[in-house]
Amino acid sequence: MIKPGTLVRQARRKAGLSQRALARRARVPQPTIAAIESGRQDPRYGTLLRLLRASGYELDIVPRPGIGVDRTVMRAQLALPVAERFRRAARMAQFAATLRRAGQQR
């Protein structure tokens, strides 16, 4: 995981800004930016957002692929012969249809 200070420094440098110029744009004191970039201070979310936006970047929070996925079930399914996978899929489809019909009868 990238540290906030590294993120701010990279964004600022890619934007071609000095700490002083970024401070003016983001309305954050230059010593605060220096402390954040050096890792001496962790910025609040709003401060980090202002610094990145002033550098021309956005902060997006997105889920990482594969988090929360139990791959053991997938591996077990893939280890089965193809014909068996199809048989199981057909049985699951029949079961789902039975559940749908039961739900419609209520």
pLDDT tens by residue, 67-105: 666 788 889 999 999 999 999 999 999 999 999 888 887
Q: Record the tokens describing residue 102, joined without a space.
A: 């039961």
Q: What is the mean pLDDT of residues 52-58?
A: 96
Stated pTM of the model: 0.60
Structure confidence at residue 106 (pLDDT): 65
Greatest distance between any 2 Cα atoms in the chain: 70
Q: What is the mean pLDDT of residues 49-76?
A: 85
Q: What is the mean pLDDT of residues 11-38?
A: 98
